């Protein structure tokens, strides 16, 4: 039995790299080539593979540590007789990753200081030599097959320095910045974001710095040659560059803009950070870096997102409401919002921005239903239940959802499917001191008016006492927001996404009704139905509300009889 130390292979830079993730713990079994940590350099985020298999007996690093080539990462105990002197200098095959893990080291970048120096010298020579076009291929990225272009960092016409990032590739194991092999002007970009490329494939054409100088040189200087080739022949020039295409795509409604780096090269973020920023739609230019030498950390990106969510608005392209110092105008109190109020604000904002809302209004003539309800008062008292109009409205909504199932759906996030629900659960908005809560009554279609009356009171009490469990508020198909006891003639409720419809109930009032001979007093209940116009069309909504109104107004429709039959 011998213990082996797994060390950081040649990471192609003399600078230390940060441990951003430790993927193994003591006691784990690892295999050769299994990733054990993630290191992040200026240029690449790399998964470091284990050079030995066996049991991890000690993990010698933690997140945030800065490691250089050769630093010890873990100790592995194995049966195999591999090495006798663990403290000896790292032999080449141990210090280098195996071919299969080559991408993890990003060794396409200058693998040694001398080599980098050589390349710099080459670049300098190129700059003073005659102008020429330089074809930029995908460098040696290891034996990884096709890799995706996840970011184009330059645009056609940009001036780049040797070493500037042209684009970023991402394989299963690492994301890699492809540096410009020389200083000059970007003549052509031959790939776009999302394209798959492989080693050796041409990705860009540069005009060497010498050529760029030549272009700018005054005419008549014979020693500087003007390039013969047009910068980009019109017949080959795409109407939009890949970068422009990306920006156009980002402008599609509903999509967040991609993370964009400022063109001045002043943003220092590793690929993992930029990938996170891109995933979250964060423009790094708006984020304050807190890492060493003004580098961005993942935490910076997450903190920015949290602030944006808390503030609301930003990232949506909607101008921010300017902050006002209200204390300038009189005495104020700054009160922390409850968690529920904050999450209600976020939910409302999300629903308001995502859902194309339409609201439709009608009045239900509940004169007869009110008489019926009052007739049931004695029975309600006997049962110890308060019978308000609400349980009838719940039941009528369940019947309308059955009659018009187009409301009993949710949109699949894939944007291509609709989820039809074969159950009828309805939520009710409850005003509580902590904020608005929406407990859900399950299987409303299967319950009678008395059960619904009991459940509305029980859930409202639970909500006000702060005793609702998350499951009490999940699984709704439709919601009711009743302001009837409070007042108002109508309002437009916000759809409780991912549901697609919500009924707003206002205060019933006695109004004159023309019965053909005279005006007689009738009780009207104002109803407003808001719906997600992506899922429900106007005709469906019209039918739904008409059905609902008829059930509540009529004494004789099938569903009106069902409604009364349940009491």
Residues marked active site are found at: 533
Beta bridge partners of 461: none
Nearer to ligand CAO, 488 or 565 (CB): 488
Nearer to ligand CAO, 69 or 456 (CB): 456
Beta carbon of residue 390, minimum distance to ligand CAO (angstroms, whole number): 4
Residues 6+ apart with CB under 8 A from 137: 199, 200, 201, 202, 203
The 8-class DSSP code of residue 97 comes to: P
Nearer to ligand CAO, 154 or 529 (CB): 529
Nearer to ligand CAO, 260 or 480 (CB): 480
Nearer to ligand CAO, 271 or 484 (CB): 484
Beta carbon of residue 429, minimum distance to ligand CAO (angstroms, whole number): 4
The rounded distance, in Å, linking the Cα atoms of 119 and 387 is: 85
Name the nearest CA neighbour of 37 among 4, 60, 3. Answer: 60
Residue nearest to ligand CAO as judged by C-beta position: 484
Beta carbon of residue 460, minimum distance to ligand CAO (angstroms, whole number): 3
Beta carbon of residue 413, minimum distance to ligand CAO (angstroms, whole number): 25
Q: Is residue 296 within 8 Å of 268, Cβ to Cβ?
A: yes
The rounded distance, in Å, linking the Cα atoms of 422 and 405 is: 9
- Residue 516: HSE in the Cβ half-sphere, 13 Å Cα cutoff: 0
Q: Is residue 495 within 8 Å of 536, Cβ to Cβ?
A: no
**For the range 373-377, what are the long-range contacts, defined as Cβ-Cβ under 8 Å and sequence gap of 24 or more?**
376/567
Nearer to ligand CAO, 208 or 506 (CB): 506
Nearer to ligand CAO, 28 or 431 (CB): 431
Any idea how long the chain is? 567
Map tokens 């009356």 to a residue.
453
Q: Is residue 23 within 8 Å of 35, Cβ to Cβ?
A: yes
Q: Is residue 168 within 8 Å of 180, Cβ to Cβ?
A: no
- Residue 190: HSE in the Cβ half-sphere, 13 Å Cα cutoff: 14
Beta carbon of residue 387, minimum distance to ligand CAO (angstroms, whole number): 8
To the nearest 10°, report the CA torsion of 395, 399, 401, 402: 140
Distance from chain centroid for Cα 14: 36
Beta carbon of residue 403, minimum distance to ligand CAO (angstroms, whole number): 22
Beta carbon of residue 393, minimum distance to ligand CAO (angstroms, whole number): 8
Q: Which residues bind ligand CAO (CB under 6 A)?
A: 388-390, 428-431, 436, 456, 460, 481-485, 493, 505, 507-508, 525
End-to-end CA distance of the chain: 79
> Which two structure tokens, joined as six digits, stand for 554?
């009529």
Q: Is residue 21 within 8 Å of 57, Cβ to Cβ?
A: no
Nearer to ligand CAO, 410 or 481 (CB): 481
DSSP string computed for 401-413: HHH-GGGSEEE-T
Beta carbon of residue 389, minimum distance to ligand CAO (angstroms, whole number): 5
Residues 6+ apart with CB under 8 A from 455: 441, 447
Strands 435-437 and 430-432 come out as: antiparallel
């Amino acid at each position: 039995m011998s213990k082996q130390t797994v060390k950081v292979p040649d990471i192609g830079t003399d600078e230390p790299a940060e441990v951003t993730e430790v993927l193994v713990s003591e006691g784990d079994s690892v295999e050769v080539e299994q990733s054990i940590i993630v290191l992040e350099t200026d240029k690449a985020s790399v998964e470091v593979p284990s050079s030995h298999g066996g049991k991890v007996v000690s993990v010698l690093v933690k997140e945030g540590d800065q490691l250089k080539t050769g630093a010890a990462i873990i100790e592995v105990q194995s049966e195999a007789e591999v090495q006798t002197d663990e403290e000896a200098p790292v032999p080449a095959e141990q210090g280098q990753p195996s071919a299969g893990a080559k991408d993890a080291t990003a060794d396409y970048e200058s693998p040694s200081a001398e080599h980098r120096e050589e390349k710099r010298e080459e670049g300098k020579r190129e700059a003073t030599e005659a102008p020429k076009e330089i074809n930029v291929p995908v460098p040696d990225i290891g034996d990884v097959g096709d890799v995706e272009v996840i970011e184009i960092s330059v645009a056609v016409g940009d001036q780049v320095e040797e070493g500037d990032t042209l684009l970023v590739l991402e394989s299963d194991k690492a994301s890699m910045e492809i540096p410009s092999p020389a200083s000059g002007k970007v003549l052509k970009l031959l790939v776009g974001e999302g394209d798959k490329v492989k080693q050796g494939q041409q990705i860009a054409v540069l005009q060497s710095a010498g050529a760029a100088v030549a272009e700018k040189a005054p005419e008549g200087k014979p020693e500087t040659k003007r390039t013969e080739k047009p910068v980009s022949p019109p017949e080959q020039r795409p109407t939009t560059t890949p970068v422009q295409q990306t920006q156009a795509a980002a402008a599609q409604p509903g999509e967040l803009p991609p993370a964009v780096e400022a063109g001045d090269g002043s943003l220092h973020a590793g690929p993992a950070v930029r990938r996170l920023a891109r995933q979250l739609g964060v423009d790094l230019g708006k984020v304050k870096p807190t890492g060493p030498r003004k580098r961005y950390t993942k935490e910076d990106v997450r903190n920015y997102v949290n602030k944006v969510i808390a503030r609301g608005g930003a990232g949506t392209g909607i101008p921010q409401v300017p902050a006002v110092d209200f204390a300038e105008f009189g005495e104020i109190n700054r009160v922390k919002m409850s968690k529920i109020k904050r999450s209600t604000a976020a939910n409302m904002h999300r629903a308001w921005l995502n859902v194309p809302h339409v609201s439709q209004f009608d009045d239900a003539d509940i004169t007869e239903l009110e008489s019926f309800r009052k007739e049931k008062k004695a029975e309600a008292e006997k049962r110890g239940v308060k019978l308000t109009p609400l349980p009838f409205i719940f039941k009528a909504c369940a019947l309308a959802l059955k009659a018009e199932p187009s409301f009993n759906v949710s949109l699949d996030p894939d944007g291509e499917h609709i989820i039809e629900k074969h159950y009828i659960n309805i939520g009710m908005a409850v005003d509580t001191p902590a904020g608005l809560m929406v407990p859900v009554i399950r299987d409303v279609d299967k319950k009678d008016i008395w059960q619904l009356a009991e459940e509305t009171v029980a859930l409202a009490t639970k909500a006000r006492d702060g005793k609702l469990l998350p499951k009490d508020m999940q699984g709704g198909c439709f919601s009711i927001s009743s302001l009837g006891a409070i007042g108002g003639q109508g309002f437009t409720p916000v759809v409780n996404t991912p549901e697609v419809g919500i009924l707003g109930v206002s205060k019933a009032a006695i109004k004159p009704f023309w019965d053909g001979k005279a005006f007689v007093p009738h009780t009207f209940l104002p109803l407003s139905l808001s719906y997600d116009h992506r899922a429900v069309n106007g005709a469906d909504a019209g039918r739904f509300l008409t059905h609902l109104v008829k059930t509540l107004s009529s004494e004789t429709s099938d569903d009106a009889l069902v409604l009364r039959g349940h009491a």
